Chain A
Amino acid sequence: MSAGNTVRRRDFLRAAAALGVGGAVWKAAAPAAGATVWQLDPQKCVQCGRCATECVLSPSAVKCVHSYQICGYCDLCGGYLQPSARDRDTGAENELCPVSAIKRTYIEDPFFQYTIDEALCVGCGKCVKGCALFGNGSLYLQVKQDLCVHCNECAIAKACPGDAYRRIPAEQAYLLKTRPEGGNGQE
């Protein structure tokens, strides 16, 4: 073996230290087996509005999500329009969302697509209530795990009157709604 190929002890120790530090960082960053996160059960949610006001983040880490599989793509959408809306259009006075986070797009007569602008959504659940009351319940709230700071004691869970918050495995961090049997969203 030539002298140039000899691994010196100092280099070896440096490489070993780098490997150790890298492994520790990876271990800390990756969710441990059995790790859990906070999530909101949409079946228990009572749309009280506290997800918007109780979260330690502002705006809240709770956002409205939309199941297009369940949505009826309604023109007269209970989640988009004010109950007393004079017209079924995108006029601000007709919109239900207090921060105008829902976009309405014409598809074909009489269908409209509704998309959530997550950057604007504050998680108040007003649209969720309108959709549950008059529609198929395709709008619902979820804790966005990329925004959540994973408090040990979730401030929203503490205040939730529906007891809808619980810890679930981090590997399946969302409680997504799927189309119920007999449901008839327009795919």
Chain B
Amino acid sequence: MSDENHRLIPLWMWVAVACAAVGAAVWLALNSRRPDPPESFRYDVGEFEQVEPERVIAIELAPITPGIPGLRALAATPDGALLVAGEKTLLVCGLDGVERVRYALSTTPECVAAAPNGRILLGTVNHVEVRDPAGKPEHSWAVPGERAHLTSIAADESSVYVADAGNRVVLRFDYGGELQTRIGEKDAARDIPGLIVPSPCFDVAFDNTGAFWAVNPGRHGLEQYRPSGELVSAWYRPSMAPDGFCGCCNPAHMAFCSDGALVTAEKGLVRVKLYSVDQKLLGFIAGPAAFRATPGGPFSPELDMPVLDLAVDAQDRILVIDGRANAVRVFQVKEPH
């Protein structure tokens, strides 16, 4: 065999191939990065987070910062005051946020309400406390049931309604703490489907006509009950769409305006929305972007916190507790609805 046959592949090419092989081996050994997870592994709710600006029907006013750690509950009184509860503290302030009086409490309330007779109602995990209009404790009682976990409280002239998420029931007491009615328990004979409460997001409220409403978070809607526990009406809207309620426990909070319009706040995809009395979506008070830890950034379960409570004040302004900011954010609907 001649030398020319040996040089069909020149030596420098062998050297180049060997260098390339060694280089590739070194690169593979040092660079262990793998491809990013594919699109199919990503959970994306981006399209539902977008709210067209024309659908936002409220403007945000200056927030109220009561200076209480761990803001938890909020209520508006008919005479133009706000009740704000946080860590072992209850604050009464004006609509401008100026403090009127502050009470130190032995425990942190889960919920607070203003009764029409001027009394202040506080709910802890398993106790109800009634205070007179001057803030002096009048009466308190324990809620029956080992699993009691109160999440909301509302009252009319004669009764106190307590939402017990632990036992999935609304309890109606008189002002002396005597249990009158258990509301919302499944009863086929009375055509009551039963309250589904998967988490401690369970709100109750009165509308402008004095009718009592309870959120049924597992069915994604609201139910109206008589004081006797009869189910009057219900509407459910399970959907990710703007006019629906998504997740397992929404709407998480609700409140009524003076004209009967309904304000709801959702967790997960945090949205505050306004509905007409015939359950049509009027628009967004605030969309998910308003509650992002990072403006314009993606949802972060660690940093983003849901709305912790919701109220409508005597001027029909919508107040929400922003847990991340530890402040009461104030929204005003632009046009009468």
Contacts and interface: CB of A to CB of B under 8 A. Distances in A.
Question: Do the two chains belong together in a single complex?
Answer: yes
Given A72-B248, A78-B247, A134-B247, A83 B48 contact: yes
B320 to A, nearest CB: 19
A129 B43 contact: yes
Interface in A39-84: 46-50, 52-54, 72-78, 83-84
Query: Considering residues A48, A78, A109, which has the most beta carbons from chain B within 10 angstroms of its beta carbon?
Result: A78
Contacts, number: 110
Interface in A82-131: 83-85, 88, 96, 98, 109-111, 124-126, 129-130
Contacts of A85: 240
B240 A84 contact: yes
* Chain A interface helix/strand/loop/mixed: loop
Interface residues on B, range: 35 or more
Contacts of A96: 43
B199 A134 contact: no
A34 interface: no
Interface in B1-50: 32-38, 40-45, 47-48
A53 B37 contact: yes
Interface in B206-242: 218-220, 238, 240
B48 A184 contact: no
Contacts of B32: 155, 158
A184 B248 contact: no
A136 interface: yes
A17 to B, nearest CB: 42
B196 interface: yes
A155 to B, nearest CB: 7
Contacts of B196: 110-111
Contacts of A133: 43, 45, 247, 268-269, 299, 301
A132 to B, nearest CB: 5
A130 B193 CA distance: 27
A110 B219 contact: yes
B137 interface: no
Given A133-B45, A136-B248, A72 B37 contact: no
A121 B197 CA distance: 29
B34 A53 contact: yes
Contacts of B34: 53-54, 159
24 contacts: A46-B302, A52-B37, A53-B36, A54-B34, A72-B218, A76-B220, A76-B238, A76-B246, A78-B246, A78-B268, A84-B47, A110-B196, A124-B40, A125-B41, A130-B43, A133-B268, A133-B269, A133-B301, A134-B246, A135-B247, A158-B32, A184-B149, A184-B165, A185-B198
Nearest 7 CB-CB pairings of A with B = A72-B198, A49-B37, A134-B247, A74-B248, A49-B41, A124-B41, A129-B43
Interface of B: 32-38, 40-45, 47-48, 125, 149, 165-166, 168, 193, 196-200, 218-220, 238, 240, 246-249, 268-269, 299, 301-302
